[in-house]
Amino acid sequence: MQHTSWTASNGAPTGITAIAQTPDGWLWIGGAAGLFRFDGARFERARDIGLEPLSSSITNLGVLPDGTLWLVYKYGGASLLANGRMRHFRVGEHGTPAGSISGLAQDGAGRLWLGTSGGGLREMSAAGVWRAPAAAMAAPAAPSRRCCAIATAYSGCAPSRVSSCCRRAPAASNESSMSLAMAYWPNTLTAASGRRT
């Protein structure tokens, strides 16, 4: 196996907190120095390619099932990057709660979810506003629970509610499905299921 490394002298950003790869092959790097993309040879700062993140202090990033890159920031807020365009969710706008955001995920019905430290779990409404989940989700209420992680699980497993770890059970069918799992502090996992559309 060949190993290659890059340092700041090669243009690599410093203070890296997250790395994700989008379906088009770009490696996206976020951290204290901002957002960068990497093609295996050179690093490009997002602002140099016409993208304007909300902040240069990125704490986490990832990729939704549809290939959209999501970013969250140290001082709150989130952004989505798809088709070369960024959509921002500033604190206080579109129902975006204050506090740090652990991440974004998409369930089997295509709904977007936001996990936060101060606002618990939020669901994107059809009107494009973050809102508390329906009571039927039985998600712990904010601010008593901090959503510290959120993820999408694919067919073949369905997370179940447990007290200190994620246990997976076989899915009820072989159809392509996705489940949404949220980890709360302290030590609770909640799962919601949905089918891929």
Spatial CA neighbour of 74 closest among 145, 122, 121, 15: 15
Mean per-residue pLDDT over the chain, rounded: 74
Say whether pLDDT at 101 is over 70: yes
Place of tokens 């993208």: 51
Say whether pLDDT at 50 is over 80: yes
Q: Which CATH class is domain 1-90?
A: mainly beta
Say whether pLDDT at 114 is over 70: yes
pTM of the model: 0.73
Say whether pLDDT at 41 is over 80: yes
Say whether pLDDT at 21 is over 90: yes
DSSP 50: T
Three-state secondary structure call for residue 56: coil
Distance (Å) of CA 158 to CA 124, 142, 162, 164, 178 = 22, 25, 12, 16, 8
Spatial CA neighbour of 150 closest among 195, 102, 185: 102
Rounded CA separation 61/29 (Å): 8
Say whether pLDDT at 81 is over 90: yes
> Which sequence spans correspond to the domains of the chain?
1-90, 108-197
pLDDT of residue 151: 55
Higher pLDDT, 10 or 181: 10
Q: What is the pLDDT of residues 121-157, one digit of tens each?
A: 888 888 888 888 877 766 655 554 555 556 555 443 3
Q: pLDDT band for position 97 (50/70/90)? A: confident
Q: Of 7-21, 135-149, 170-184, which range is least confident? A: 170-184
Rounded CA separation 103/100 (Å): 9
Say whether pLDDT at 70 is over 80: yes
